[in-house]
Structure 1
Amino acid sequence: MAALLAFVGILTDPAAYQRLALVAACDLTVALAALILPWPRWSPNATALLGVAGFAVLGLSTWSFGGVATGTGPFLVLLYAWAALHFPRWVLLAFAAPATVAYLLPLILTGQPPMVLGSALVLMPVALVVGLLIEAQARHLREDRERLARIERWRSAMVNTLAHDVRSPLGTVQLALEELRDDATGMSAKVLDTALRQTARISRLADGLLDMQRIDSSGHLRLDRRSQPALPLIRAALGYVRADADVRVEVDPEATLYVDEQRFEQILLNLVGNALRYGGPPVIVRLTRDGAVDRLEVRDHGPGIPESLRPRLFGQFAVGGPEGVGLGLWIVRQLAVAHGGQAAAEPRTPGVAMIVTLPAGPA
């Protein structure tokens, strides 16, 4: 910036061409050194040397213009602000000596009066204090970021461990229940059916936790999308819902969906599960097509969504409680976005309709 301003100065004051060109060349040399030299190989604070070089150029500029320090003050403060954002406090304190020399020496060499020299008593402390204030705020922000990064690493490890440790013994439990179910009749069969449904639910929760982790870490999911009949797909997914649930399906038998089967199942089960848990019967599943978009609607007839909850409805842990951890709708939105669609809630009288839009075919 200093070099560009020097070139602008040449246009407005051609008589000072040589001095301004010298200052611009020095500024560009410092900028070039900042870009080319392999700073990461050296000390983390090695780039502070650029500040010393910057102070030297400021001193040269003041001297070349006969002791006129009009542009020196702002750039001194700018250098301190830059240093405060990137270096510890001791670097700012170490800058005090070269900055003072760069400001005073040209004024002394050009014979400036004591009043001009005394301006350093105001400028230098102000520049240092500005730098220290910025450094304190930047340090607090770095510490907060490091603390959040540690928390995130711990959370990530906990989620992965929980999900994997749940899935392994759960598979054994499910196999044992299936063996018992083959020979069970009457009430025992119903109890085992309930146990198997709950086992599947826990398995889906573990999958959801892993999905949450993958979405957080990579920002997207890899999908295996293909065109398939919609009605069998929806009925197969609803097979995980308890048998006595009042869920009605309104889907054209000829309708198709272009989706990842497993992810679509998660979307539908999360929406139907929320509708049964927080809404009221009947729960109606509809699928319609609007041009190149398929519109999946899961509508309940419950009390609806409180106004205070709507802004964060699809956030993580937004609707958690005794019956859930609040990941369902967040995962629904993430999976919808991964498909190239979106998720939203629309009020109904009574109840609410959760709408997921999905592309009707490959883009």
Structure 2
Amino acid sequence: MSLLEEAWEEALEGLVVHQDRQVVYLNPKAASLLGVNRAKVVGRPLILALRDHRLEALALHGGERLLDVRDRLLWAKALPGRLYLLDETEAQRRLKDLQEAAKTLAHELRTPLSGMGPLLEALTPRSEQEEEVLELLKAEVARLSRLVQGLSPIQPGLRRPVALEEVWTRLEKLLGERLKERRVEVHLPHTLTTDPEALLQILLNLLDNALKYGQDPIRLLSHQEGPRLYLEVRDQGEALPDYEGLFLPGRRGTQGGLGQGLGLHLVRRLARALGGEAYARREGGENVFGVSLPLD
């Protein structure tokens, strides 16, 4: 047995190799996840090993999906002649628990935050410096309120035509000196009909992620494809080992390391609530983090 075969025999990820709809190989983990005897399915029709027409269709046509298969949540990814399987049951349970905890946290924070705004409005600054500090405090309280709203079940607000240049003006005020210290290129010529507050939070989180972990130049741009608008933040940072995983709560962009980051997770939740999707990838030497949203 070769070193590669030994590695797959011990892998925590399931692998099914097939040719002409026949099973050529499956490792012990795949046999366990599928609940089959390896000796009885190798050399037999693929459906006998998978025992699920959705898995068979995925294996034959390619793609990736999260499927509920025999009381397990399996993440299945199909490439020509290969089907990879990963048990996501426990991870999805932890994610559900985390979402419930986030809802509780949002509920507990909402009351003190709602009281801070009026208190700040009641203050009278006595100097230009105090006025500047007060405005920054108001902006931070507003940002925390939006973050708390993001932890709650997403319910987009009133939608209206929003010029992206208008959103950029607000971002400049919120990020202030952090933007001035970096090389940021902006190209946002489009207008779309959406919830302006949710859109602001999406772009704020994407930019914050790039400012923390990316390398200059950082590019914020929009482009249209059919009925959808793509908003992207691109930077020159090193390629990351796992882009999709960064959208899970508790992940941060520092070389894909673990942390308490919720920014990209909230970006995806907000994008989906607006009828879109969030994505990340490596393209042309840049790390690309973006969302696609319906123009109307």
- Tell me the TM-score range normalised by the shorter chain: 0.5 to 0.7
Pair 1:242 & 2:242 matched: no
Find the aligned partners of 1:153 and 1:334 in 2 and give their Cα distance. Answer: 16
CA shift in 2, pair 1:339/1:159, >3 Å: closer
Q: 1:283 aligns with which of 218, 234, 237?
A: 218
Once the two structures are TM-superposed, the CA of residue 251 in structure 1 deviates from its matched residue by 1.8
Pair 1:199 & 2:133 matched: no
Task: Answer whether contact 1:341 1:358 (CA < 8 A) is retained.
Answer: yes
Task: Answer whether contact 2:280 2:288 (CA < 8 A) is retained.
Answer: yes
Pair 1:268 & 2:203 matched: yes
Secondary structure (helix, strand or coil) at the match of 2:211 reads: helix
Once the two structures are TM-superposed, the CA of residue 312 in structure 1 deviates from its matched residue by 0.9
Find the aligned partners of 1:155 and 1:338 in 2 and give their Cα distance. Answer: 15
Matching residue of 1:233: 167
Once the two structures are TM-superposed, the CA of residue 276 in structure 1 deviates from its matched residue by 1.2
Q: Deviations 1:151-199 (Å, cap 9, x if unpaired)?
A: 967962x43342233222223333333444643323x444444433433
Structure 1 alignment gaps of length 5 or more? 1-137, 139-144, 216-220
Matching residue of 1:316: 249
CA shift in 2, pair 1:183/1:170, >3 Å: farther
Matching residue of 1:106: none
Q: Deviations 1:104-140 (Å, cap 9, x if unpaired)?
A: xxxxxxxxxxxxxxxxxxxxxxxxxxxxxxxxxx9xx
CA shift in 2, pair 1:280/1:171, >3 Å: farther
Find the aligned partners of 1:299 and 1:345 in 2 and give their Cα distance. Answer: 10
Secondary structure (helix, strand or coil) at the match of 2:264 reads: helix
Pair 1:172 & 2:115 matched: yes
Find the aligned partners of 1:174 and 1:198 in 2 and give their Cα distance. Answer: 10
CA shift in 2, pair 1:202/1:154, >3 Å: closer
Pair 1:306 & 2:240 matched: yes
CA shift in 2, pair 1:190/1:283, >3 Å: farther
Q: Deviations 1:282-307 (Å, cap 9, x if unpaired)?
A: 43221222232211111233x23421
Structure 1 residue runs of 4 or more that deviate by more than 6 Å after TM superposition: 148-151, 320-324
Q: 1:208 aligns with which of 150, 159, 166?
A: 150
Task: Answer whether contact 1:304 1:347 (CA < 8 A) is retained.
Answer: no
CA shift in 2, pair 1:332/1:154, >3 Å: closer
Q: 2:228 aligns with which of 275, 293, 297?
A: 293
Secondary structure (helix, strand or coil) at the match of 2:243 reads: helix
Aligned residue-pair number:
203
CA RMSD in angstroms comes to: 3.6
Find the aligned partners of 2:218 and 2:261 in 1 and give their Cα distance. Answer: 20
CA shift in 2, pair 1:261/1:149, >3 Å: same
Once the two structures are TM-superposed, the CA of residue 257 in structure 1 deviates from its matched residue by 0.8
Once the two structures are TM-superposed, the CA of residue 230 in structure 1 deviates from its matched residue by 2.6
Pair 1:159 & 2:80 matched: no
In our comparison, the structure showing a higher alpha carbon Rg is: 1
Once the two structures are TM-superposed, the CA of residue 271 in structure 1 deviates from its matched residue by 0.6
Find the aligned partners of 2:104 and 2:96 in 1 and give their Cα distance. Answer: 14
Find the aligned partners of 1:159 and 1:277 in 2 and give their Cα distance. Answer: 23
Once the two structures are TM-superposed, the CA of residue 209 in structure 1 deviates from its matched residue by 1.3
Once the two structures are TM-superposed, the CA of residue 149 in structure 1 deviates from its matched residue by 8.1
Please identify which structure carries the higher strand content.
2
Find the aligned partners of 1:249 and 1:305 in 2 and give their Cα distance. Answer: 22
Secondary structure (helix, strand or coil) at the match of 2:290 reads: strand
Task: Answer whether contact 2:220 2:233 (CA < 8 A) is retained.
Answer: yes
Find the aligned partners of 1:327 and 1:314 in 2 and give their Cα distance. Answer: 8
Q: 2:274 aligns with which of 309, 326, 339?
A: 339
Task: Answer whether contact 1:304 1:348 (CA < 8 A) is retained.
Answer: no
CA shift in 2, pair 1:225/1:155, >3 Å: closer
Find the aligned partners of 2:172 and 2:107 in 1 and give their Cα distance. Answer: 25
Task: Answer whether contact 2:233 2:288 (CA < 8 A) is retained.
Answer: yes
| Matched letter for residue 258 of structure 1 | T
CA shift in 2, pair 1:318/1:249, >3 Å: same
Matching residue of 1:128: none
Task: Answer whether contact 1:257 1:360 (CA < 8 A) is retained.
Answer: yes
